[in-house]
Amino acid sequence: MAKQKVKKLKIKTHRGAAKRFKMSAGGKILRMHSGKRHILGTKGPNRMRRIKKLTKVNKADTRNVRLLIPYA
């Protein structure tokens, strides 16, 4: 009897996570800052510049995010 090959299942990407996170060239996961939608008049220019940029995902959350976006 010949041994059957077992197909490896593909993992589905979580579409919500794919829109929220991206990988940097160095392999780190990046995310956007929150707080840019409304009540912008009270936020200063320095704060807005800081909010505008991407930031790294916390080390505690990195493993879970990687599972959601396996092919990023």
> What is each CA distance from 70 to 24, 51, 60, in whole angstroms?
14, 27, 17
pLDDT tens by residue, 21-32: 999 999 999 999
The pTM score is 0.82
Range of the domain at 39: 15-68
Whether residue 10 is contained in a domain is answered as no
pLDDT tens by residue, 31-56: 999 999 999 999 999 999 999 999 99
Domain CATH code at residue 49: 4.10.410.60
Whether residue 47 is contained in a domain is answered as yes
Q: How many domains does the chain have?
A: 1
The answer to whether the CB of 29 falls within 8 A of the CB of 66 is: yes
Q: Nearest CA to 36 among 24, 50, 23?
A: 50
Whether residue 21 is contained in a domain is answered as yes
pLDDT tens by residue, 4-25: 888 889 999 999 999 999 999 9
